């Protein structure tokens, strides 16, 4: 068989493994779940060792199901969720569960550092405001609350760099994940040792930074036995999941925009110059010479997973007889409700909210209920609320001159024609959908493809692998009702935020 590429995606609810041929065709795809732990209010953490176990399980299964020889894998690319803080000792042993991007336990520390160092100074260097979701705050929380563990830390790794370490034995940091630390110089792409010292973060905690497509090592004998890959297989540094998904959706030129429909929601606008705003998120793209101006929300596909988990028992049972999934039945109920959900508006702040409001105490809210409302109203309003959060970020970016024209959708939510159309109607933007379920793993695999020379550059990689499956145009008939509900959406938060702070 011709050379293949393997992409690893360390998501919030599961890892996904996909094997691609050079043309981007999926030869095998496997998902392996793991847990998110919520030990206290505001906490959300995972065990990185469970990520590695899932990667090993899924990789072996993917190879077995496809009848692909491990020797046919030309390279491995890894993407991962943002803002981990994986504390490892000098032998690479994980010292504690890592708080993940939803975790807000370090809100007090952020306030202290913003006052002590200055929010403006932190933003001027890193291009991002200091918030509890970021890696910086989590490291400082270890220092204050887990001093014994803190004293044993050798390096702080990100989700993808931890898996890269398990595969190769090399402790690294890729460029795109640098945005999680406020001692990272966003304009130069290097660590700023002076700011690290001011923050109280030892420079020795910070691994060397690598371009995302750079081959940082090869699969060791020990890793090969654990995951089924061939010893010596090249491994790229990898990158942020949203950035790899952006690449996998075909976004490589300035102005092109990805719409994210995974566990989290949001968007990523490709720009070729430094352009930071404290309401948004700025990071390097996984391709050289570009940044991503991002909006990241806590409410995305995870909202629908929560609704289905807590209220979908009937649909799970009915789906067995109709040969439909519970989410397909949810979609049908939502489709039966008119645009605007008859006045029901949903705030999707299910784990606080990130951009553009940055409020760790924001709460999810349904407004506009009465006895005429049905489950379908709850489902459709949830879809519309996630779309409003997307619009809020797009509007914020447009206010500073970063305008998105066409959105390229990725993630499981893009499989819903209804939800994708709602997002097009709410934002007023056309949405095109490539291979939504595999965009992120494809982007990760592309990094390995460019790094190993299987593709001459990212332009060739995208032209060979990314194809548009469908296109959604905004329906102007729905614009007025969505604009009305969007104004209610904004006003609800503004009027409730003081109350939310007291909760």
Binned at pLDDT 50, 70 and 90, residue 6 comes out as very high
Q: How confident is the model at residue 75 (pLDDT cuts 50, 70, 90)?
A: very high
Taken as a whole, the chain contains a residue count of: 503
What is d(CA 478, CA 253) in angstroms, rounded to the nearest whole number?
31
**Residue 435 pLDDT:** 72
Evaluate if residue 483 carries a pLDDT over 90.
Answer: yes
pTM: 0.92
DSSP 360: T
Q: How far apart are CA 197 and CA 200, in angstroms?
A: 5
Orientation angle between helical segments 241-248 and 439-452, nearest 10 degrees: 80
CA dist 298 to 11, 13, 355, 357, Å? 14, 14, 9, 11
Contact by Cβ (8 Å): 83, 133: yes
What's the farthest any 2 CA atoms get from each other in the chain? Answer: 64
- Strand-pair category, 265-271 with 291-297: antiparallel
Mean pLDDT of 204-222: 98
C-alpha to C-alpha distance for 418 and 173, rounded to whole angstroms = 39
Q: Of 102-116, 219-233, 400-414, which gets the smallest average pLDDT?
A: 400-414
For 137, the enclosing helix (H) or strand (E) is helix 135-145
State yes or no: pLDDT of 320 exceeds 70.
Answer: yes
Structure tokens at 113: 């550092």
Domain limits of the chain? 4-244
pLDDT tens, position by position, 441-481: 999 999 999 999 999 999 999 999 998 899 999 999 999 99
Q: What is the DSSP string of 340-356?
A: TGGG-EEE--BTBB-TT
Q: Distance between CA 176 and CA 210 in Å, rounded? A: 9
pLDDT higher than 90, residue 280:
yes
Closest CA to 292 of 359, 245, 330, 360: 245
Q: What is the average pLDDT across 230-244?
A: 97
In the predicted structure, residue 392 carries a pLDDT above the cut 90: yes
Fold entry, domain 4-244: Nucleotidyltransferase; domain 5 (3.30.420)
Decide: residue 49, CB within 10 A, 0-12 exposed, 13-18 middle, 19+ buried: middle
> How much of the chain is in helix, strand and coil states, percent to nearest 5?
45, 20, 35
Q: In which element (H, E) is residue 217 found? A: strand 215-218
| pLDDT score recorded for residue 1 | 59
285-298 confidence digits (pLDDT tens): 999 999 999 999 99
The model's pLDDT over 125-145, given as tens digits with 9 standing for 90+, comes to 999 999 999 999 999 999 999
The pLDDT value recorded for residue 2 is 72
How confident is the model over 374-384, as a mean pLDDT?
A: 98
Q: Are 232 and 244 in contact (CB under 8 A)?
A: no
Indicate if the pLDDT at residue 194 is higher than 80.
Answer: yes
pLDDT digits (tens, 9 = 90+) for 327-368: 999 999 999 999 999 999 999 999 999 999 999 999 999 999
Average pLDDT, the chain: 96
Percentage of the chain surpassing pLDDT 90?
Answer: 95
Cα 244 from Cα 78, distance rounded (Å): 9
Q: What is the mean pLDDT of residues 290-315?
A: 95
pLDDT above 90: residue 436: no
Residue 316 has pLDDT above 80, yes or no: yes
In terms of Cα–Cα distance, which of 39, 41, 44 is closest to 13?
44
Q: For residue 492, name the pLDDT band (cuts at 50, 70, 90).
A: very high
In angstroms, the CA 290 to CA 273 distance is 7
- With bands split at pLDDT 50, 70 and 90, how would you rate the model's confidence at 52? very high
- pLDDT at residue 384, rounded to an integer: 98
Q: pLDDT grade, residue 412 (50/70/90)?
A: confident
In 191-230, which positions are buried (b, 16+ CB within 10 angstroms) versus exposed (e)?
Answer: bbeebbebbebeeebbbebbbbbbbbbbbbeebbebbbbe
Q: How far is CA 487 from CA 146, 353, 394, 492, in A?
A: 44, 18, 15, 9
* Spatial CA neighbour of 497 closest among 387, 390, 361: 361
User: 190 pLDDT exceeds 80?
Assistant: yes
Token pair in block for residue 150 = 């803190």
* In the predicted structure, residue 283 carries a pLDDT above the cut 70: yes
Write the CA distances from 492 to 366, 390, 485, integer angstroms: 10, 16, 10
């Amino acid at each position: 068989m011709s050379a293949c590429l393997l992409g690893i995606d360390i998501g919030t609810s599961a890892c996904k493994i996909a094997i691609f041929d050079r043309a981007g065709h999926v030869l095998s795809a496997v998902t392996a779940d793991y847990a998110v732990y919520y030990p206290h209010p505001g906490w959300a953490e995972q065990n990185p060792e469970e990520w590695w176990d899932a990667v090993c399980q899924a990789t072996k299964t993917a190879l077995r199901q496809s009848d692909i020889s491990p020797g046919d894998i030309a390279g491995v690319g890894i993407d991962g969720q943002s803002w981990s803080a994986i504390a490892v000792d000098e032998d690479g042993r994980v010292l504690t569960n890592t708080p993940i991007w939803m975790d807000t336990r370090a809100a007090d520390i952020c306030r202290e550092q913003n006052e002590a160092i200055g929010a403006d100074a932190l933003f001027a260097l890193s291009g991002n405001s200091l918030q509890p979701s970021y890696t910086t705050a989590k490291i400082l929380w270890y220092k204050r609350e887990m001093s014994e563990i803190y004293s044993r830390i050798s390096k702080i790794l990100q989700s993808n760099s931890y898996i890269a370490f398990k595969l190769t034995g090399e402790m690294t940091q890729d460029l795109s994940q640098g945005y999680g630390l406020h001692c990272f110089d966003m304009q130069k792409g290097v660590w700023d040792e002076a700011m690290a010292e001011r923050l109280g973060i030892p420079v020795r905690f910070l691994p060397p930074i690598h371009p995302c497509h750079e081959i940082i090592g090869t699969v060791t004998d020990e890793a090969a036995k654990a995951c089924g890959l061939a010893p010596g297989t090249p491994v790229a540094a990898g990158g942020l999941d949203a950035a790899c998904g952006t690449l996998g959706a075909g976004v490589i030129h300035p102005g092109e925009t990805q719409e994210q429909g995974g566990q989290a929601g949001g968007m990523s606008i490709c720009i070729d110059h430094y352009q930071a705003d404290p309401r948004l998120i700025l990071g390097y793209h996984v391709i050289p010479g570009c940044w991503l101006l991002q909006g990241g929300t806590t409410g995305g596909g995870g909202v629908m997973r929560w609704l289905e988990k807590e209220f979908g028992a009937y649909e799970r049972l009915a789906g067995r007889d109709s040969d439909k999934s519970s989410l397909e039945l949810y979609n049908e109920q939502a489709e039966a409700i008119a645009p605007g959900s008859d006045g029901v508006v949903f705030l999707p702040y299910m784990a606080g909210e990130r951009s553009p409001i940055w409020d760790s105490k924001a709460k999810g809210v349904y407004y506009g209920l009465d006895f005429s409302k049905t489950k379908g109203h709850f489902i459709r309003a949830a879809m519309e609320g996630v779309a409003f959060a997307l619009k809020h970020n797009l509007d914020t970016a447009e206010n500073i001159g970063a305008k998105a024209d066409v959105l390229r959708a990725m993630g499981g939510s893009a499989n819903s024609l209804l939800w994708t159309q709602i997002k097009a109607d709410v934002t007023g933007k056309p949405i095109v959908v490539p291979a939504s379920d595999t965009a992120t793993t494809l982007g990760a695999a592309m990094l390995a493809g460019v790094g190993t020379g299987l593709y001459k550059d990212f332009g060739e990689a995208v032209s060979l692998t990314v194809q548009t499956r469908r296109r959604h145009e905004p329906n102007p008939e729905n614009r007025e009702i969505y604009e009305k509900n969007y104004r209610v959406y904004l006003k609800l938060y503004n009027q409730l935020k003081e109350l939310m702070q007291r909760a």
